[in-house]
């Protein structure tokens, strides 16, 4: 069975850990196996997906570079209730491209997640803003709620598809 490695990246507080835990355990805000891996089927073929749930970015930029080098695919998370967290997605996306695709020739496996979709009243990011971000990034976009378990599995399945096609 093939093993894929994906890093979850984005600003602090957007829900990287909540999304990861939801994918790994099907639970919200519970303790999880620190190995962060789940076997599941994508398009009928089983695979093992190892998730690197990254912590901060700015302070640990060199560590971040190491994570990027070590990962096959990237899940970039922003919060739908915090517009400015999109800036971090753009910054991380450019770091990833610089490291994984310096000549600009290939597509790097990547998906963007707008999380906390359940917080409808606090929402700051319009669907068209998120779609525009996805188009400029050249990758699929998923709206998720780790709390309500919406959109998580499709996003992780898509990163596996992209890595397979890579």
Which distant-in-sequence residues (6+ apart) come within 8 Å of 93 by Cβ? 76, 110, 137
CA dist., res. 16 & res. 19, Å (int): 5
Whether residue 163 contacts residue 73, with contact meaning beta carbons closer than 8 Å, is answered with yes
Q: Does 17 bind Mg ion (CB under 5 A)?
A: yes
User: Rounded to the nearest whole angstrom, what is the least distance from the CB of residue 148 to ligand GDP in the complex?
Assistant: 7
**81 contact choice in ligand GDP, Mg ion, none (CB below 5 to 8 Å, kind-dependent):** none
Contact footprint for ligand GDP (CB under 6 A): 12-18, 29, 115-116, 118-119, 145-147
Burial 22-35, CB ≥16 within 10 A → b, else e = bbbeeeeeeebeee
User: Rounded to the nearest whole angstrom, what is the least distance from the CB of residue 145 to ligand GDP in the complex?
Assistant: 4
User: Rounded to the nearest whole angstrom, what is the least distance from the CB of residue 142 to Mg ion in the complex?
Assistant: 18
* Contact residues for Mg ion, defined by CB under 5 A: 16-17
């Amino acid at each position: 069975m093939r093993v894929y490695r994906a890093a979850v990246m984005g600003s602090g507080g957007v829900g990287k850990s909540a999304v990861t835990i939801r994918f790994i355990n099907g639970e919200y805000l519970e303790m999880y196996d620190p190995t962060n891996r789940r076997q599941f089927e994508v398009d009928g073929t089983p695979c093992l997906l190892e998730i690197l749930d990254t912590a901060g970015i700015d302070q640990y930029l060199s560590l971040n570079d190491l994570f990027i080098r070590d990962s096959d695919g990237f899940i970039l998370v922003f919060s739908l209730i915090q517009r400015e967290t999109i800036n971090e997605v753009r910054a991380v996306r450019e770091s990833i491209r610089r490291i994984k695709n310096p000549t600009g020739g290939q597509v790097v496996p990547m998906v963007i997640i707008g999380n906390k979709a359940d917080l409808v009243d606090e929402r700051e990011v319009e669907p068209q803003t998120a779609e525009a971000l996805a188009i400029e990034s050249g990758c699929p976009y998923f709206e998720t709620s780790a709390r309500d378990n919406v959109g998580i599995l499709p996003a992780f399945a898509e990163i596996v598809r992209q890595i397979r096609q890579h």
